[in-house]
Chains A and B, each alone.
Chain A
């Protein structure tokens, strides 16, 4: 079911304690800051968050972590020059970390959306990140078994949606958006514009509307990095 919402708060309604949330973005590019802020106001806690990083500065994902709503982060690269919110929680033992090589993270999310029960990947074989996991030799090469990552919700950002929920993105802000939209039971998308059906060339659709459940238009002037409250 596809619905259009007037506010980010309405778009994240129903996210409850203990949910797993896939959040798009690579650093701040493609980070759905307004949806994350709405999730913070929603107050759901004990969340598992899946994102490439673990927050930058004090806004967006970092603010959600700072509010104490997150029990576990699944990500590839938590430590950055401005990840002080995560760093402090981690050092204090207040947040759990599952570190996943970035390509395995992406493929585990993709697998969830595509109905794959797991896959063997060479990435991570022979390293500490493969410890405890099933391995197999295929044609003389070592592989590690990785499981899909399903989301209860996905929060992503796209450039525009039509009234069918078809999405197009902008430059490297696309990153995890398409695979997260497919991997969540309910995908929530913030876009700069909602356009009439037929206004997006079908050949240019990146995420078909079948993967989209909720859409909210957030004006681009308030979508500059660091502007989210």
Chain B
């Protein structure tokens, strides 16, 4: 991957997919996280969960495959893979809350250095609030990965010291994938794992808090694994 420029959305999805261990049970959130499915290696044994009651979800359905009784959390028609299973909603969310899901990938408005997540409500007084399964996923999955742009449209950083938007979950996010860098979060410390077209010092200026530079370690690991 070219590290001299910022990542495209597809490249971000590929990076997330590469960090999901073979055999994992995974829930991909609505929107950009859904695209991670396109980059999961064949034969990895990764099983996709959809909150509306299915394990072994296949790709989006087209043409004759479309079945109104077979949809994903975004209400898009999907397909079933061999070995799929169906279950009711209480079981589906028991899988999350009970810690059976290995990874979930979500979008975010903000993530704090402590791993707090804000992704369901901007807090605008005229907005109609809707939360869906976001709080259950954030709280229940063993690892919560976030995919987001580093800044919002107004240029404000979305990785923040403390969230200003209403929270989805407390201390739940462990990795954040942005177009400029991948961050890992642990115990209030933010480590930059990889950068794309931005130096760690510039990231620190932009974010306004201390970052640990883990890029040397990460590239050494990448080099040794080639």
> Using a CB–CB distance below 8 Å, which chain A residues touch chain B?
26-30, 52, 76-80, 86-87, 90-91, 97, 99-107, 109-110, 121-129, 142, 169-179, 206, 224-225
Interface pair A109/B90, CB less than 8 Å apart: yes
For the complex with contacts A80-B75, A99-B129, 13 further pairs of A-B residues with Cβ separation under 8 Å are: A26-B52, A29-B52, A76-B131, A101-B136, A123-B97, A123-B136, A126-B169, A127-B170, A128-B121, A128-B166, A171-B69, A171-B80, A172-B69
Q: Are B139 and A123 in contact (CB under 8 A)?
A: yes
CA gap between A121 and B130 in the complex, in Å = 19
A158 to B145, CA, bound (A): 36
* Nearest CB in chain B: distance from A81 CB, A: 9
Closest to B170 in A: A126
CB < 8 Å: which of B89, B128, B168 contacts A106? Answer: B89
Contacts of A178 in B (CB 8 A): 88
**Cβ of B51 < 8 Å from any Cβ of A?**
yes
Q: Verify B130–A99 contact, CB threshold 8 A.
A: yes
- For the complex, what is the distance from the CA of A127 to the CA of B131, rounded to whole Å? 11
Nearest residue (CB) in A for B70 is A171
Q: A87-B128, A171-B69 are in contact. Are A179 and B135 (CB under 8 A)?
A: no
Output the least CB separation between B80 and chain A (Å).
7
Find chain B residues with CB under 8 A from A177 CB. 88
Inter-chain CA distance A41–B130, complex, in Å, is 29
Hey, which chain B residues are within 8 Å of A100, CB to CB? 131
B96 within 8 A of A: yes
Please tell me which one of the listed residues B75, B86, B96, B135 contacts residue A127 in the complex, with CB atoms under 8 A apart: B135
Report yes or no: B97 in contact with A102, Cβ–Cβ below 8 A. no
Residues of chain B lying within 8 A (CB to CB) of residue A91: 126, 128
Q: In the bound complex, how far is the Cα of B79 from the Cα of A70, in angstroms?
A: 35
Residues of B within 8 A of A26 (CB): 52-53, 71, 75, 89
Name the 9 nearest CB pairs between A and B, nearest first: A103-B93, A103-B136, A106-B89, A126-B170, A110-B90, A79-B130, A173-B69, A101-B135, A102-B133
**Could you tell me if B68 and A225 are in contact, using CB atoms closer than 8 angstroms?**
yes
> Complex Cα distance A30/B70, Å?
10
A174 to B69, CA, bound (A): 9
Interface residues of B (CB under 8 A from A): 50-54, 67-71, 75, 80, 86-90, 92-94, 96-97, 116, 121, 126, 128-136, 139-140, 166-170
Q: Cα distance A78–B128 when bound, in Å?
A: 8
Known A29-B68, A175-B88: A121·B97 in contact at CB below 8 Å: yes
Assembled-state Cα–Cα distance A29/B94 (Å): 21
B135 touches A172 (CB 8 A): no
12 A-B residue pairings within 8 Å (CB atoms): A29-B75, A79-B129, A103-B92, A103-B96, A103-B133, A109-B90, A123-B136, A126-B170, A127-B170, A169-B86, A174-B88, A225-B68
**Cα distance A142–B172 when bound, in Å?**
12
B131: chain A residues at CB < 8 Å are: 76-77, 99-102, 129
How far apart are the CA atoms of A77 and B89 in the complex, in Å? 14
CB distance from B83 to the nearest CB of A (A): 15
Determine the residue in chain A with the shortest Cβ distance to B127: A79
Whole-angstrom distance between the Cβ of B63 and the nearest chain A Cβ: 17
- The answer to whether A179 touches B88, judged by C-beta atoms less than 8 angstroms apart, is yes
Q: Whole-angstrom distance from the CB of A174 to the nearest CB of chain B?
A: 6
Q: How far is the CA of A128 from the CA of B169 in the complex (A)?
A: 10
